[in-house]
Amino acid sequence: MTVDPHPDYRADIDGLRGVAILSVVGFHAFPHLVRGGFVGVDVFFVISGYLISSIIVGSLRHGRFSLRAFYARRIRRLFPALIVVLVACFATGWFTLLAGEFKHLGKHIAGGSAFSANLILWSESGYFDPAAELKPLLHLWSLGVEERFYIIWPLLLFLAWKRRFSLLILTLTVVAVSFSISINAIGATPVAANLKASAGVLLIAAAVFGLSRTWAFPGWWALLPTIGAFLVISAGPDAWPNRHVLSHRFVVLLGLISYPLYLWHWPLLSFAHIYGSAEPSGGMRAAAALLSVLLAWLTYTFVERPVRNSVSGKQVGILVVLMLAIGSLGAYTFERGGFESRFPESLRRYANYQYDPGVGARPHRCWLAADQPFTDYAAECVDGISQDAAARPLMLVWGDSHAARLYAGLNQVYSDRYRLAQFTRDSCLPVVGLSPGPCMQGNSYVLRTIQETRPSVVILFAVWDIYSSDWTRESVVAKALVQTISELKRIRVPTVVVVGPAPKWRERLPKLVYEAVVRDPRHRVPLRLNLGLDPSFVTVDSSLKKLLAGQPITYVSLRDIFCNGDGCLTQVGNSSDDIVSWDYGHFTIPGAVYAAKRSLP
């Protein structure tokens, strides 16, 4: 095997790598501070293009170019650190990811091992899409682009040299064509344009701190980092900035570990986002960035450098086998749907939780759809008076679908003390005096029914916050609620109970519980959760308390009943059957019973 000659080592180029990786890590960790740091990837492309082209052209001129030696060197350079990171991501995902998330991680591991992650990710979402933060291997798209450069560019140069075609003309042609594609593609497929961008930019600093993810990039703006990198490299190692800034030991060290640092930083940030179910705090992001530097140094010192400096001829084959193995494992993980069997059946029941919302409710004619006429309310929506029920007063539940679910609990808890009535309608507040429509007509009918049936207790309950975020005294909905209470008191309802909003979750509560169980090292079911709570219900609860203070009613705060400093209650027993909500906030029967027992004296 022949050995390709290298150009003279330049510390300033490693320093330029350091600047590039700092900008990328800064952008991912603190995007509001380093708004255009993503252009560091373009700087890497320029550096790779310069070094690889220098090696190949030098080898061709000396008649010692070998594709076999070139690709063997690329394998030694790229495979060791990538294998370590892919294995680490797989292991982390095994213990912390849900089946669907782990399935997609397996696909991305397979794509990353084949250096085709760019094609897989291109079909899923853009580099700047919100879903990007939930993909620990999103950053491997750049390796896919670079690897195609490593495969195609040496062949083009070799063929051009053999046919005595001008290498300068070839290079300029490739740059012009790729930049033209970048400009034309930016409107329709920005990810593809990002992958094809090969030319660039005047000033790296202007790009890093001046550009933003909201700008059309790459396009013409790609000239900033790429031309900037070209100018820095072409200035030579003796230029003052190169000699005194880029050649500084710290900057050079960052450049030396830039490849493993690039590989480590994004998975750490992404897993932090996944594990916390929200954007990590600034301190967490800073900690992840610092940890990625430490892991990069360890990888460079104990994995990457020993492999690159080894003279063993077997290492390339071993690296290829290892990469094929981890890629096959990723593909198998995808085929197996993320190995849901990793967790016991008792925990998987949360992920597959199903619930019939009609369980425990009255016939559907007491719980109307939003567009049903009020005449569909049935006579059995009010319990009749029988001999054994004659002495029991009437309790009437009025509200939306959340009130219909509360009825199931009230019926179990109070049916021996009260006759019960239910008048509920999807997406309708239990108030009078709002805009005309099915809700207003139905609520007027309910008010007339209350006057006729003379219940001892009327319970008003709704999700409240989805109808309005403003429950101050001057808001329209607040005035309508106060007017409704006045009407109920005018027709002499002895007890009016207003039940405040139930805990509201950003996703289905069973899914949130399952996520928390999976990500807990001991797989404990959390009886309370903070993560995933929608704070809007807290705001509305506080507003309603203030609004109704002094009103002749009883206000029941479900926030006070279900929540404390450790979060809000997830279940009232020891299994998934005891969970309090099947979706974002509607009660199951166990949840409704728990609320009902604490809603009335």
Higher pLDDT, 257 or 155: 257
* Separation CA 422–CA 412 (nearest Å): 14
Interval 234-261 mean pLDDT: 87
Predicted local distance difference test score (pLDDT) of residue 188: 43
Which of 206-220, 286-300, 312-326 comes out lowest in average pLDDT? 206-220
Query: What is the rounded CA–CA span in Å between residue 95 and residue 345?
Result: 16
> What average pLDDT does the segment 540-555 reach?
95
* Cα(329)–Cα(107) distance, integer angstroms: 9
User: Is residue 360 over pLDDT 80?
Assistant: no
* Residue 495 β-bridge partners: 457
* Per-residue model confidence as pLDDT tens digits over 65-109: 777 888 888 889 999 999 999 999 999 999 888 888 899 999 999
Percentage of residues in the chain with pLDDT exceeding 90? Answer: 46
Record the tokens describing residue 283, joined without a space.
Answer: 């301190």
Q: Please list, in sequence order, all residues whose beta carbon lies within 8 angstroms of the beta carbon of residue 209, skipping any fewer than 6 positions away.
A: 34, 35, 36
Spell out the alpha helix ranges (H) of 114-166. Answer: 117-122, 141-162
**Going by C-beta distance under 8 Å and a sequence separation of 6 or more, which residues neighbour residue 446?**
374, 398, 423, 430
Question: Does residue 86 contact residue 112 with C-beta atoms inside 8 Å?
Answer: yes
What is the model's pLDDT at position 363? 60
* Amino acid letter, residue 377: Y
Q: Over 343-371, what HEC string results?
A: CCHHHHHHHCCCCCCCCCCCCHHHEECCC
What is the C-alpha separation between 218 and 194, in angstroms, rounded? Answer: 6
Per-residue pLDDT tens for 453-505?
Answer: 999 999 999 999 988 889 998 999 999 999 999 999 999 999 999 999 999 99
Q: Quick check: bond before 7 cis, omega within 30?
A: no
Q: Which domains does the chain have, with CATH numbers?
A: 11-328 (no CATH), 364-597 (3.40.50.1110)
DSSP state of 63: T
**CA–CA separation, 505 and 563 (whole Å):** 13
340 contacts 99 by C-beta, under 8 angstroms: yes
Whether the predicted pLDDT of 269 surpasses 80: yes
* pLDDT tens track for 145-171: 777 666 766 666 666 666 665 544 445
The per-residue pLDDT for 581 is 96
579 — pLDDT class (breaks 50, 70, 90): very high
In 174-275, beta strands by DSSP E: none
In degrees, to the nearest 5, what angle opens at C-alpha 390 toward C-alphas 389 and 394? 75
pLDDT digits (tens, 9 = 90+) for 376-431: 888 888 886 544 445 789 999 999 999 999 999 999 999 999 999 999 999 999 99
Place of tokens 């005294």: 473
Q: How far apart are CA 490 and CA 519, in angstroms?
A: 54
Q: Is the pLDDT of residue 199 over 60?
A: no
DSSP string over 414-429: HTTT-EEEEEEETT--
Select from 363, 402, 368 the least CA-distant residue to 383: 363
Would you state the pLDDT for residue 348? 83
pLDDT tens by residue, 127-151? 445 467 778 998 887 877 777 666 7
**Nearest-10 Cα torsion for 485, 490, 494, 500:** 0
pLDDT value, residue 335: 95
